[in-house]
Amino acid sequence: MLALVVALQAPPAAAAPDTAAVTAIRAGMVIDGTGAAPLKNAVILIKGERIAAIGANVPIPPGAGVIDLSGFTVLPGFIDAHVHLASRTLGDGDWQHAGLTMMPAELALLGAAHAQQTLEAGFTTVRDVGSVHYGDIALRNAITAGWVPGPRIVAAGILFGITGGHCDETDGLAPGVLGHEAGIEEGVADGVDAVRAAVRTMVKNGADVIKICATGGVLSLTDSVGAQQYSEEEMRAVVETARGLARRVAAHAHGTEGIKAAVRAGVTSIEHGTLLDSEAVALMVQHGTWLVPTLMAGDQAMQLVNAGRLPAPIAAKARAIVPRVQSSFRLALRAGVKIALGTDAGVFQHGKNAHEFTLMVRYGMTPMQSIQAGTLSAATLLGREADVGSLAAGKYADIVAVKGDPLQDITALEHVDFVMKGGAVFKRDGQIVGRSDAGVP
């Protein structure tokens, strides 16, 4: 109550003195996300939610709170451009049809738990590329309001595609079981008019980005994984409508022809991109299309296949295409395709996301390239590079710290000791210290 009284008695904002508390971080080594050489013994000054200054010679003002990370490597908060927070994790319960068997509120609560796991792992921003029932949008709003802790979310709302396609929530169910034809609520939109309406519906309901299924998928029962699903004409309609409403389009795409059609249609990113060829990567370079390779998803799918935990049709599809993940990634990397880190978390347990850095290095990136992919590059794909993605004055103070030197051993990023989001410490010495109810009215 005292805080409220003080706030009511405070002078108008324009006349208020600049009293935001200043925090100084002493960093042993800084990797700033831009790809620049690391900075030793730097100071980061934080005022309110944002970084005020960073550098080796920045003086610490008297009275500033000091956080000593001089024994750590300090980096921007990580960014995962492909997660599914408000969904049942693969292999858990009725994960295939959770949207039809669970209450929307249950999925949103599960999403809140996943969001906290993600933030604990040092991921301060994610792009959630789709959920049923708009769970990702609800979660984004709850986190923004301070009701629950979690990363900043760029949300897609409901992901959609053709009838019987990878995004069709009723895939594998008996005909007529809904009592009506599957529509946008079940992730289905067929034809140019319907996809235009679907984009508008997503934007109306709060989507920051549009997610479509351009081709078949692995984790759906009936579709053929390599097959193109949306026509190029339908995808052009999606992109044009989204662009008119200032939204970008992410396209789930495994099969080669579907990838090329999506790129020609103007999507911003190809998700997975499993069956690339030289023409596909050349087209991506020409169009400036991003690749979000989701290496962990392939890894996890094969682990579950080998453990006998996936239905036979899905296991067969995984066996057919997962061996191509690594060669396609190398092809894109060599060709100079823009690559952003994205994991498909939800296919595996949330909070393990940083293993993607390790796989990117294992498959050919330098450690610095992988760090850029998971910081400034991912921020740029999301259109949020003015606010997040690197350690620079003016950006949000989204900061993580790890022991050791990730440029020598990239797996250091899998063990995050310190997490700050928007100037508030969430994790310190490996322990959660951020209050989960800090913003609850």
Catalytic residue check, 344: yes
Among 10-18, 179-187, 189-197, 337-345, which window interacts with Zn ion (CB under 5 A)? Answer: 337-345
CB of 16 to Zn ion, least distance (A): 45
Residue 87 C-beta: closest distance to Zn ion, Å: 9
The C-alpha angle with vertex 237 and arms to 189 and 171, in degrees rounded to 5, equals 20
The distance of closest approach from Cβ of residue 84 to Zn ion in the complex, given in angstroms and rounded to an integer, is 6
Cα dihedral across residues 252, 256, 258, 260: positive or negative: positive
User: Which residue number, 76 or 217, has a Cβ lying nearer to Zn ion?
Assistant: 217
DSSP secondary structure string, 280-309?
Answer: HHHHHHHHT-EEE--HHHHHHHHHHHHTT-
Least Å distance, CB 312 to Zn ion, is 22
Strand partners, 269: 250, 290
| Catalytic annotation, pick one of 47, 211, 317, 395 | 211
32 vs 344, beta carbon nearer Zn ion: 344
> Quick one: 45 or 90, whose CB is closer to Zn ion?
90
Binding-residue total with Zn ion (CB under 5 A): 1
DSSP tag of 162: S
Residue nearest to Zn ion (CB): 344
DSSP state of 223: S
Q: Which stretch binds Zn ion (CB under 5 A): 8-16, 52-60, 179-187, 336-344?
A: 336-344
Shortest Å distance, C-beta 262 to Zn ion: 15
Burial 193-212 (b: 16+ CB within 10 A, else e): ebbbebbebbbeeebbbbbb
CA dist., res. 271 & res. 268, Å (int): 10
Residues within window 203-222 making contact with Zn ion, judged by CB under 5 A: none
Is 136 annotated in the active site?
no
Q: Are 406 and 414 in contact (CB under 8 A)?
A: no
Identified binder of Zn ion from the candidate list 169, 344, 398, 417, rule CB under 5 A: 344
CB of 131 to Zn ion, least distance (A): 10
Q: Facing residues of 59 across strands?
A: none
| Closer residue to Zn ion in complex, CB, 212/402 | 212
Q: List the structure tokens of 197.
A: 């309406």
Query: Helices 278-287 and 256-265: crossing angle, nearest 10°?
Result: 20
Give whichever of 296 and 373 is closer to Zn ion, judged by the CB atom.
Answer: 296
The number of residues in the chain equals 441
Q: Of 60-68, 198-206, 338-346, 358-366, which part binds Zn ion (CB under 5 A)? A: 338-346
Piece in contact with Zn ion (CB under 5 A), picked from 57-65, 235-243, 342-350, 367-375: 342-350
Q: Using an 8 Å Cβ cutoff, are 410 and 83 in contact? A: no
Q: Which of 344, 395, 398, 427 is catalytic?
A: 344
Please, which residue, 32 or 128, has the CB nearer to Zn ion?
128
Instruction: Using alpha carbons, list the distances in angstroms from residue 430 to 102, 423, 425.
Output: 33, 17, 12
| Residues assigned a catalytic role | 211, 344
> Site residues (CB under 5 A) for Zn ion?
344
